[in-house]
Structure 1
Amino acid sequence: MLFELPDRDTLYQALIDRNAAYDGQAYVGVSTTGVFCRLTCPARKPKPENCRFYGSVKACLEAGFRPCKRCQPLRPMASADPAIGTLLAALEARPAHRWSEDDVKHMGFDLSTIRRSFKRQFGMTFLEMARQRRLRDGFAILAEGGKVIDAQIDAGFASASAFRAAFAQLLGRAPGNFDSKPLLFADWVTTPLGDMISVSSRSHLHLLEFVDRKALKRESTQLEKHAHGRLGIGKTDPGEQIKAELRAFFAGGSAGFSTPCALDGSPFAREVWAELTRIAPGTTRSYSEIARCIGRPSATRAVARANGANRLAIIIPCHRVIGADGSLTGYGGGLWRKQKLIDIERQYRPQEKEA
C-alpha cells in the first residue's frame, strides 16, 4: 500500500471534517448500510462504531461493501483532481510530443504523486498513457496502408525497435510482421472511456477490448492462430459499423448494437453470453441469477469464467453483472469503467408504463 493509514480516531475526524487530503487514499465502509464512501462524502455521517476504514477501493469491495451513489468512489478522478485534468488537457494539445518526467516536473507536479494518481485511476502512468496515444497515431497510418517507417515517425518514436516493441506488447507481433493479405484486421477505436482495439473479418467482429486490458495480447494471439497467422491492420465494414454504434452509445443515442459478431467460445460460454445480452440496459444481475436463468443454478463460478472470457466488451455486456451482495466485481477494463458504463446506461433504463 502506497499510503499508511492513520489510526481510527484520526480517520473518523477526517470523515467528520470531509478532509480532502485523504481523498483517494482512504475510504470508509459503513456496516449498517453496506456501502463505502470517500471521506469527503456529503451524506450524513455514521457513528464511529459502524465505520470500517480501508486504504483502497479494492479492499472495500473485497470486504463486501458496495460503492456509495452520492460520492461515487469509483468515479475517475479526472474531474475531481485538477492535476489529472491539466495533464490530460496537455496531452490532448500535444499528442505527438514525447512526454518525459522532466515535462511533468516543469509543469509543477510531483512525479510520485502524479504516478500514483494515474496508476490508481487508469491502471497506467501518465507517461504510459502518452506513449499509448502516440502508438494510436502510428496505428492509424498503418490502417490506411502507410509504411511502417512513416507510422513510426508520425507516432513520434525515435527508435524503430521501441516502435516494434510497443506493437508487440499490444498485439503480440511487430508492425512489419502483420500479414499483407489478412483474414482478420485490427483497428484502433477511440471512446470517451479510453482507446479500444477491434479485430474483425470482412463480415464479422471478433474482438473489441480496451487497449489496457491485460488479456488483449493473449486474446489477439489466439485469434491469430485461428486465422492461421493471417492477422493484419486495416478497416472493415464491421469495424466501421461498431465505431459508429459506439459513438451513438456514448452520445446517448442508442444502447443497441447490430454489428455482426463472431462468438468464439464453448457452447456453455455462448449460452451465458446470450443471456448477458438479455439484461436490459440500466439494470444489473448477479452471477447466480445468470446461472439460474440458463437452468444451471450450481454453475455460478462457470458463469463468472464465461463472463471473463468475453472478447466483445460493451457489446456483450458483462459489465452489467455484479456480485450477489450488489458490489462491483472484477472487470477486465477496470472497475472504474464498469461503474461508468453502468452510470451511462441509466439513461437507457426501460421506463415503466403508467397505469
Structure 2
Amino acid sequence: MKLTEKIMYEASYTKDVSFEGIFWMGVKTTGIFCRPTCTARKPKFENVEFFSNTKDAMMKGYRPCKVCKPLENLNVTPQSIKELLQEISEDPSLKLKDDDLVKRGLEPATVRRWFLKHHGITFHAFQRMFKLNTAFKKLRQGESVTDVALDTGYESLSGFNESFKNIFGASPKNSKIEKIIDLKRIETKLGTMIACADENGICLLEFSDRKALPTELKGISKHYNANIVQGENPHFITLENELSEYFEGKRKIFTVPLSPVGTAFQKQVWKILQEIPYGATRNYQEQADILGNPKSVRAVANANGFNKISIIIPCHRVIGSSGQLTGYGGGMWRKQKLLELEQAILF
C-alpha cells in the first residue's frame, strides 16, 4: 500500500499507533510538528504537510509539539521517574510519601497518573509491590519472617503479614506461590520495552505498546503460578547492556540467558528463529523446511506470532515469500527500523 498524504492524515486523525515512526505531520498554521498519535486538536487537511523524519521537519522551520513531544521515544520514562525507580531499587525499605515527592520537586498527582497509566497502580502501591518482591526473595532464601519484615522497612510483623497476604493471597509462612517473575521497563531507541525474568533468564521482552502484552503477562503468570512484580533481576543487567550495544550497532549476538514460555513446537520454531544470522532474513516456508515439515508454514507463522521475546528471538527477520515485510507485534515501522539497523538485504 502506497503511503499517500490522505492515508497519513487519516492515520493522524484516528491516532493510529501503527504509524508511529513512519511519518510526522507539520501544521502550517502553528509552525509545530507532531507524531501521528498526538492528542492535540487536528488541523484541516490543507494546513498540514508530512515528513519521513524529524530532521526534515525542523529544517523546514517547524518546532516540536509540546503535547506529543515528537523528539522523544514513544512512552519514554521521564528522568524524574527513572530517578525514583533507581532510588527504590537501591533501597527497597524506603517509604516515600507525597511530602517526600514534593521535596524532590515532583508533583504527587503527576507521579500518580504516570504510574497508573504505565503500571496500573499508584506510586505508593508500586512501592509496596517492589518492597514485597524483595521480601519474597529473601524468604525463599531461608531468611526469617521477622528479619525480612524489618529489613524491608516494616515497623511491625503484623503489618508485614497483612501486606504480604494482600499481594500474594497467603501469609509469608503459608504462601504456595512457586516463584516471582521480575518486571522492568527498559528504554531503547525504538521506545520503551517491558522485560520479565525469572531465575533462569529472560521470559518476556516486548514493546510497551504491544496490544497482546497484557495477555502475554497473564499467560506467564498462570504458567508459573507466579506473581509478576516490578523488581530487579541479575539478568536485567546483562539484557540492558546487550540491548544498548545492539542499538549502537556494536552487538550482533545476544548471550543473556532466556527462559521462554511456550509449547514444545513453539520453542522449536523460536530456536530456528535464533539461528537466522544478523543482517539476514528468512520466510515462513524456509523456516518450515528447516523444521523438517514443509507443510507446517501456517503453524510456523502462528508460533512466530506467539514469540514473547522480541529482538533476541528475532522474529523481525522473517518476511513474506515475495520479499515484503509481514506483520510484527511491535509495529511494522519498528520491524523496518530493526532491519535497517542490521542492514538486512530484502530480496
Same fold (TM over 0.5): yes
Who is 1:62 aligned against?
none
* Aligned 8 A contact 1:320 1:342 in 2: yes
Who is 1:299 aligned against?
296
Q: Deviations over 1:78-122 (max 9, x none)?
A: 5x869999668xxxxxxxxxxx96xx68xxx849999x989xx9x
Q: Deviations over 1:235-256 (max 9, x none)?
A: 2221110111011111111111
In structure 2, relative to structure 1, the CA distance for the partners of 1:189 and 1:85 (3 Å cut) is: farther
Residues 53-68 of structure 1: matches in 2 within 5 Å? none
Is 1:324 aligned with 2:321? yes
Is 1:133 aligned with 2:133? no
Who is 1:46 aligned against?
none
- Secondary structure at 1:282 match in 2: coil
Range with bigger deviation, 198-207 or 176-185: 176-185
1:259 shift after superposition: 0.1
**Percent identity of paired positions between Structure 1 and Structure 2:** 30
Is 1:213 aligned with 2:164? no
Specify the code of the residue in structure 2 equivalent to 1:133.
T
Q: Which runs of 5+ in 2 are unaligned?
A: 12-18, 55-66, 138-179
1:207 shift after superposition: 0.8
1:292 shift after superposition: 1.1
In structure 2, relative to structure 1, the CA distance for the partners of 1:252 and 1:298 (3 Å cut) is: same
Who is 2:22 aligned against?
76
- Secondary structure at 1:158 match in 2: helix
1:275 shift after superposition: 0.7
1:287 to 280, 284, 289: 284
* Aligned 8 A contact 2:204 2:260 in 1: no
- Secondary structure at 2:191 match in 1: coil
Aligned residue pair count: 262
Give distance in 1, aligned partners of 2:191 and 2:227.
27
Q: Which runs of 5+ in 1 are unaligned?
A: 1-14, 16-21, 28-54, 57-72, 89-99, 350-355
TM-score by length of 2: 0.61
* Aligned 8 A contact 2:75 2:191 in 1: no
- Secondary structure at 2:188 match in 1: coil
In structure 2, relative to structure 1, the CA distance for the partners of 1:130 and 1:191 (3 Å cut) is: closer
Specify the code of the residue in structure 2 equivalent to 1:295.
G
TM-score by length of 1: 0.60
In structure 2, relative to structure 1, the CA distance for the partners of 1:213 and 1:75 (3 Å cut) is: closer
* Aligned 8 A contact 1:291 1:303 in 2: yes
* Aligned 8 A contact 1:143 1:187 in 2: no
Specify the code of the residue in structure 2 equivalent to 1:126.
C
- Secondary structure at 1:25 match in 2: helix
Who is 1:91 aligned against?
none
Specify the code of the residue in structure 2 equivalent to 1:25.
K
Is 1:240 aligned with 2:237? yes
Is 1:204 aligned with 2:211? no
* Aligned 8 A contact 1:139 1:188 in 2: no
